[in-house]
Every structure is written in structure tokens, then in C-alpha cells.
């Protein structure tokens, strides 16, 4: 069996008991499944939820808290308990586990995400299992959007680490044409090669009351992974040997295949993590050049701009109909584009002094 990098995501509902608190039996089960992958030579990364669920009882809350500061307090207690449980479970197999806590803001800063990747690479090189969670004690929806359910976090980690596969564990054995709990005639979808609007509609809303992620957020995560060149599996891992089977292609779930190659770090950052500071509308000719011609964006193709951005910022690019087609790093100030939009290259050179004529160079561009 070829050694591969595998990212496995486990949600709160798989790790905790009905009344809250960690289910030690489940943690030991998942550790044994991950240890089996590790023993066969794979590099294993675990993205786990469960800090809030692990901590709220200890802190004295009767049920899972709703207020942000209460959740953060529960996570502060629970994260230590979660890591302790994993480290104890892995030590049975002689595996050392490491903790990495990330927020959305870490991903939106290129240097910070580069540092996180270097740490991850070193841990994998030393055959240590990184256990990754959102840093719930500092992440709030008010300032920076949270990953929420860690499904997206697992996809971003898989793309960043250039994993061979992302395994998202859920209580359903894959994606169905309808909810099989309501309609026994529902048919399981074994393989998906492209995530269309129809596929997203099948996924519906959120699932259990313990976790926050339903099937829809898992499909969204599969889409991010696929765009990063990582195939994904969404399904059940419940019995001994289920996880190695899922990785080998015989799991109880749905496989999301991709023909895309893994994206370089810069393009990933542009596509998934950067925060656009403005928006540029372009004409049909520029749309064609960007999407099909592999060309840079020149001032001549620009028809309108929104936002006060500066050279080096990331901006979105939209069609005349308002559909976003991609984003890139801008080489002009907003006022400079206002002054030269629609003009020829010769005319632009006469009017403004810019380092390079391309508004967005194709090396700094990603199609969405």
C-alpha cells in the first residue's frame, strides 16, 4: 500500500455522549482506526471538534451553552480534556499527538498560514499525529467568521497539506437522493465528480443537536477540497476497520473524485482565504481572456469598480451580469483604475504611473 497523507475529520456528535461530555469509548475507537492507518505507513492528520461539548458539563452548565462567552469558556476547559483523551488513547499505540489550534484569521494571513504549514510538515516528518481544532476561545463570528463545524477547516487543511484524501466522518453512510430516515426509497449516491446546485440541494440543513454541521456543510467542504485537488469521502466510520476501508475506496459513504491538481499555496490563499477589499466589473472580452485565454486583466476591459482598495490588495472580478468569476492581487490604487478604466495600454501609460500595466497579473489570479 502506497503511503499517503490522510486528513480525517471527526465531529462533536461522534465523540460525545448524549448528555454532553466526552465518550471515552468512541475516542479509543477512533484512535485505534487512525493507528491502523498510521501503522500501514500513512501520514495522518486529525481535525476534531468537541471542545465545547467536552467542557460545558465540567464548567457547570446544564446544557450546551448558546452565548459566545459561555461557549468560549467551555472550550477553554474542554480543549485540554479533549487533547488529554486523545493523547492517552494514542499512547497505547506508541503514537505521539500534537495540538494545533487555528482560526479563520490565520488562513487569511499569508505569513501565518505559511508558518502553520511549516509546523505541520515538521510534525509529519517526525511521524507525529497533528490534532487540529478551531481556536474557539478567540474565534468569534463578530470579528472573523468561524469555521463553525470544522468541515471547512478540514478541507482547507487537506488542501494546504496537499493531502491524498479527506475523510469526513458523519452519522449517515453517504449522500442520498432524499433523507433516508424519512423516505426508505431514497437512493445512495456512490460517486460525485462535480458538485452542482442540485447536489447541494440534496444536502439540506443541519443534523444533530450536539454538533453544528449538517450534510450541506460537509458537501461545501468536499467542494473546497476538490478545488484544491484533494478527493474526499463523506460517510460512516463505526466498526473496526471502517476507516482503512474508507481510505482504500471501499467505505460506507459517498466518494467525491476530482480531476484537478493540487493548487500552489499562493493560489489556495487567493481562492479560499483572502479577504477581497473591492470588486471590479469587466466586459465580455475580458471575461473570455481571463477564463479561457489564460491572460492577465488589462485596464481596457474594466467597466466599473467598487471599494477603496490599494495596490497589493485582493479584489473580486465580476461579469457584466454581476457574476463573480475570480479574484486576484491588484497592482493599482482604486483611484488609478477610476482614471484609466476602458483605456488602451498607451493611453494608460500617459495618464498614471504604475509599476506594471496589468491590473491583475495572471500569476496573481484564481478562477472561482
**Could you report the per-residue pLDDT of 159-205, keeping only the tens digit for each?**
999 999 999 999 889 999 888 888 888 899 999 998 888 888 887 64
Whether residues 116 and 184 share a domain: the answer is: yes
72 Cα distance to chain centroid: 22
Residue 214 labelled as part of a binding site: yes
Residue 262 · residue 229 · CB < 8 Å: yes
Same domain as 176, residue 118: yes
Last residue of one domain, picked from the residues 225, 247, 266:
266
Q: What is the model's pLDDT at position 141?
A: 58
Residue 345 annotated in ligand binding? no
Give domain status of residue 39, yes or no: yes
For 237-281, how does the pLDDT look when each residue is reduced to its tens digit (9 = 90+)?
999 999 999 999 999 999 999 987 888 878 888 888 788 999 999
Residues 88 and 221 in one domain: yes
Please tell me the distance from the alpha carbon of residue 364 to that of residue 329, in angstroms, as a whole number: 6
100 and 118 together in one domain: yes
* Banded model confidence at residue 37, pLDDT cuts 50, 70, 90: very high
Whether 239 and 287 map to the same domain: the answer is no
Paired sense of beta strands 324-329 and 314-318, if any = antiparallel
Q: Does residue 359 fall inside a structural domain? A: yes
Which of these three, 244, 266, 288, is where a domain ends?
A: 266
Domain stops at, among 245, 266, 287: 266
Q: Is residue 94 part of a domain?
A: yes
| DSSP summary character for residue 328 | E
Q: Is 182 annotated as a binding residue?
A: no
- Cα of 208 vs its chain's centroid, Å: 21
The tens digit of pLDDT for each residue in 109-166 reads 888 989 999 999 999 999 999 999 998 777 665 545 567 679 999 999 999 999 999 9
354 φ/ψ angles, rounded to the nearest 5 degrees:
-125, 155
* Beta strand extents in the chain (DSSP E only): 5-10, 43-48, 97-102, 129-134, 165-169, 175-176, 188-189, 191-192, 232-236, 252-256, 278-282, 302-306, 314-318, 324-329, 365-367
- Do both 106 and 235 map to the same domain? yes
Question: Are 318 and 357 found together in one domain?
Answer: yes
In a domain, 113, yes or no: yes
Residue 253 annotated as lining a ligand binding site: no
Tens of pLDDT along 305-352? 999 999 999 999 999 999 999 999 999 999 999 999 999 999 999 998
Cβ(285)–Cβ(327) below 8 Å? no
Q: Verify that 262 and 280 share a domain, yes or no.
A: no
Residue 212 known to bind ligand: yes
CA torsion angle for 40, 246, 193, 117 (degrees, to 10)?
Answer: -50
Nearest C-alpha neighbor of 131 from the set 81, 83, 94, 168: 83
Residue 73 lies in a domain: yes
Residues 238 and 163 in one domain: yes
Q: Does 271 fall in a domain?
A: no
Q: Is 136 annotated as a binding residue?
A: yes
Ligand-binding site membership of 229 (annotated): no
Query: Which CATH number goes with the domain that contains 93?
Result: 3.40.1160.10
Helices (H), 17-171: 24-39, 51-59, 68-91, 104-108, 110-125, 151-160
CATH classification of the domain holding 338: 2.30.130.10
What's the gap between Cα 42 and its chain centre?
Answer: 21
Position 191 in a domain: yes
Nearby residues of 131 by Cβ (< 8 Å), 6 or more positions away: 46, 48, 83, 86, 97, 98, 99, 100
Asked whether residue 96 is assigned to any structural domain, the reply reads yes
215 in a known ligand binding site: yes
198 marked among binding-site residues: no
Q: Is the pTM of this model over 0.95?
A: no
On whether 217 is known to bind a ligand per the annotation, the reply is yes
Contact 294, 329 (CB under 8 A): no
Q: Are 131 and 97 in contact (CB under 8 A)?
A: yes
Structural domains in the chain (count): 2
Whether residue 300 sits in one domain with residue 218: no
Q: Is 150 annotated as a binding residue?
A: yes
Based on the fold, state whether residues 261 and 284 are members of the same structural domain: no
- Supply the range of the domain harboring residue 329: 276-367
Do residues 155 and 194 share a domain? yes
Handedness of CA 110, 114, 120, 124 (dihedral sign): positive
Amino acid at each position: 500500500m502506497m503511503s499517503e497523507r490522510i486528513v480525517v475529520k471527526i465531529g462533536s456528535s461522534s465523540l460525545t455522549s448524549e448528555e454532553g461530555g466526552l465518550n471515552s469509548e468512541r475516542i479509543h475507537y477512533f484512535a485505534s482506526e487512525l493507528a491502523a492507518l498510521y501503522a500501514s505507513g500513512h501520514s495522518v492528520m486529525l481535525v476534531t471538534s468537541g471542545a465545547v461539548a467536552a467542557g460545558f458539563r465540567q464548567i457547570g452548565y446544564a446544557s450546551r451553552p448558546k452565548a459566545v462567552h459561555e461557549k468560549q469558556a467551555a472550550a477553554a476547559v474542554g480543549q485540554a480534556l479533549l487533547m488529554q483523551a486523545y493523547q492517552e488513547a494514542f499512547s497505547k499505540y506508541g503514537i505521539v499527538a500534537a495540538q494545533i489550534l487555528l482560526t479563520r484569521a490565520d488562513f487569511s494571513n499569508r505569513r501565518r498560514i505559511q508558518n502553520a504549514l511549516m509546523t505541520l510538515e515538521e510534525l509529519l516528518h517526525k511521524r507525529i499525529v497533528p490534532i487540529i481544532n478551531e481556536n474557539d476561545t478567540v474565534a468569534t463570528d463578530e470579528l472573523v467568521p468561524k469555521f463553525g463545524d470544522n468541515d471547512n477547516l478540514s478541507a482547507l487543511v487537506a488542501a494546504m497539506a496537499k493531502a491524498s484524501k479527506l475523510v469526513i466522518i458523519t452519522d449517515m453512510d453517504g449522500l442520498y437522493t432524499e433523507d433516508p430516515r424519512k423516505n426508505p426509497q431514497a437512493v445512495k449516491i456512490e460517486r460525485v465528480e462535480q458538485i452542482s446546485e442540485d447536489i447541494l440541494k440534496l444536502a439540506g440543513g443541519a443534523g444533530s443537536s450536539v454538533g453544528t454541521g449538517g450534510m450541506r456543510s460537509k458537501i461545501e467542504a468536499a467542494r473546497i477540497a476538490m478545488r484544491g485537488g484533494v478527493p474526499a469521502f463523506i460517510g460512516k466510520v463505526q466498526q473496526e476497520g471502517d476507516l482503512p476501508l474508507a481510505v482504500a475506496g471501499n467505505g460506507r459513504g459517498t466518494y467525491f473524485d476530482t480531476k484537478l491538481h493540487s493548487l500552489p499555496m499562493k493560489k489556495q490563499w487567493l481562492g479560499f482565504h483572502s479577504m477581497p477589499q473591492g470588486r471590479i466589473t469587466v466586459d465580455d472580452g475580458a471575461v473570455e481572456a481571463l477564463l479561457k485565454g489564460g491572460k492577465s486583466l488589462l485596464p481596457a476591459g474594466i467597466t466599473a469598480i467598487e471599494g477603496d482598495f490599494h495596490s497589493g490588495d485582493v479584489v473580486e472580478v465580476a461579469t457584466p451580469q454581476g457574476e463573480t468569476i475570480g479574484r486576484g492581487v491588484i497592482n493599482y490604487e482604486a483611484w488609478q483604475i477610476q482614471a484609466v478604466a476602458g483605456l488602451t495600454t498607451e493611453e494608460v501609460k500617459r495618464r498614471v504611473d504604475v509599476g506594471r500595466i496589468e491590473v491583475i497579473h495572471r500569476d496573481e489570479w484564481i478562477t472561482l
